[in-house]
Amino acid sequence: MTSAAVRSSAAGRHPVARTVIAVYGAAALLTAVGLGSTLWHGLADPRIALAFGVLIAVGELARWGALPGEREPAPVAAAGALAYALLGENAGQPVGHGVLQTVTVVLTAALAGAVPHVARGRGPVLDHIVRRVLTVGFAAVCFQPLYDMAELRERFGAGPGYAILLLLLLGLTALCDAVLAALTLRARTRHPFGPLLRDELRALLHIGSAVCATGAVIALGVAVAGLWALPVFCVPLLLTQLSFRRYAAVRTTYRQTIASLARATEIAGYTPQGHARRVAELSLAVGRELRLSGPELTVLEYAALMHDIGQLSLVDPVPDGATALLPVTEQRRIALLGGAVVRQTGVPAAVAVVVERQADPYREQPMSARIVRAVNAYDDLAGECGTASGPLSALERLRLGTAHDYQPEVVESLARVLSRGWSGPRSDGVTHG
């Protein structure tokens, strides 16, 4: 990487670092002020605080079995925290907890529920705690001053207007949470903020919408029926969590099966160790750079993992598995054979299309095939160069092929990903950069 690229990469990281420091600093400040205020003034409505605290702690305990990367591993705790922030009455009687007590109770209960997980070395990620503090604080700041205004309370009453108000505030809170999640993920991965935010907003349509709806229902139920409404309205969300977790486990097993099948070429000695995984991870990074959607990224990942499976039909292995160095006719033959194999595995047909068209001229390819072809060629050429200048030489050779073989936008997106310090997947499957 050139010194100019290094300086550009470092300059691009500083604003991100400052943003994350600001987010964490705001959460720490809000936590400190909330704890100090609660200790000084004492708990208002301690019975209500205890009931919601227990609910949040139990919700945190229910994160057992959460899979790595789950956006909301403790939805019951999240719904309970939102309900406490949006609680105006208990069985028709106004409640007196404020914004700072809300943050204190939520944080204390979340930490208490996380103790068993921490003891087993599987505690919640700090980003989740920071987001929980800030989103709950945001919801409480938006709702409680409005509810304390007698004129608005008389206008909304306990009818449909009040429910609509809660839903609007929950929508704003969900947007705030999505922005915070995208910012913290941007800091860790250095992927573009726009696609990350889009993915977070899309995730809200799944477990996120259930959390928001349950939070509103709990707040409305407690306002009418009292604290007995807490366990009743949490059961549907708990069942949803169990169903979602089973679905996620099936998807994880499915991906692991595809990854194991993709390693067949490595085990047989046709491709270098880790080649398919490197191509898949780098293809995903380029796909995010090009703003591909979630389903498109899934197809891209599967196709990148299986892009070399056609080599199993060869009598003599290609040296180092570098298909990018073969004649075009041979590349197409291997790609078509690979597509035929992929179609027998039961994966979506779109994956087979990407595999079998990866050797076509880029103007005739779908976007995923353009990405796989360029990234595969980069990995082949960088390994073939075999020197410290290998990556730069590989990129230069890709740029020379943009007239016919590689889409210029894909090559430049690949260059941007590499300039941010991408260095391949670690042993745990997490991508650097």
Question: What per-residue confidence (pLDDT) applies to 422?
Answer: 66
Question: What per-residue confidence (pLDDT) applies to 66?
Answer: 61
Strand, helix or coil for residue 58: helix
For residue 429, name the pLDDT band (cuts at 50, 70, 90): very low
Q: What is the arithmetic mean of pLDDT over 230-244?
A: 81
Phi, psi for residue 266 in degrees, rounded to 5? -75, -40
Contact criterion met (CB below 8 Å) for 16 and 190: yes
Residue 236 has a CB neighbour count (10 Å cut-off) of: 13
Residues 336-367 pLDDT 10s: 888 888 888 778 888 889 988 888 888 888 99
| Residue positions counted in the chain | 433
For residue 157, name the pLDDT band (cuts at 50, 70, 90): low
For residue 67, name the pLDDT band (cuts at 50, 70, 90): low
The contacts found for 158-165 with CB under 8 angstroms, 24 or more apart, are 158/89, 158/223, 158/224, 162/220, 163/216, 163/220
For residue 84, name the pLDDT band (cuts at 50, 70, 90): very high
Question: What per-residue confidence (pLDDT) applies to 427?
Answer: 37
Two structure tokens written together for 220: 């409305």
Two structure tokens written together for 123: 């505690």
Q: How many angstroms separate the CA atoms of 233 and 290, rounded?
A: 42
Q: Regarding predicted confidence, which is higher, 102 or 16?
A: 102
**Percent of the chain predicted with pLDDT > 90:** 19
**Percent of the chain predicted with pLDDT > 70:** 85
For residue 231, name the pLDDT band (cuts at 50, 70, 90): confident
For residue 114, name the pLDDT band (cuts at 50, 70, 90): confident
Residues 302-344 pLDDT 10s: 999 988 888 887 767 777 767 777 888 888 888 888 888 888 8
Contact criterion met (CB below 8 Å) for 85 and 141: no
pLDDT at 431 over 50: no
Question: What per-residue confidence (pLDDT) applies to 158?
Answer: 58
Q: How many angstroms separate the CA atoms of 192 and 22, rounded?
A: 19
Q: Which residues pair with 93 in a beta bridge?
A: 90
Taking the C-alpha atoms of 288, 289, 292 and 293 in order, what is their torsion angle to the nearest 10 degrees? 40
Among 317, 364, 314, CA closest to 341: 314
Question: What per-residue confidence (pLDDT) applies to 123?
Answer: 61
Question: What per-residue confidence (pLDDT) applies to 324?
Answer: 72
Residue 369 has a CB neighbour count (10 Å cut-off) of: 24
Q: Which residues pair with 89 in a beta bridge?
A: 94
Q: Regarding predicted confidence, which is higher, 127 or 122?
A: 127
Residues 376-407 pLDDT 10s: 889 888 875 444 447 788 888 888 888 888 89
Residues 12-66 pLDDT 10s: 445 556 777 888 899 999 999 999 999 999 899 999 999 999 999 988 887 766 6
Contact criterion met (CB below 8 Å) for 306 and 338: yes
Q: Regarding predicted confidence, which is higher, 46 or 195?
A: 46
All residues at 6 or more sequence positions from 215 whose CB lies less than 8 Å from its CB, including other chains: 78, 79, 80, 81, 82, 83, 86, 170
pLDDT at 6 over 50: no
Question: What per-residue confidence (pLDDT) applies to 46?
Answer: 92
CA–chain centroid gap for 254, Å, is 19
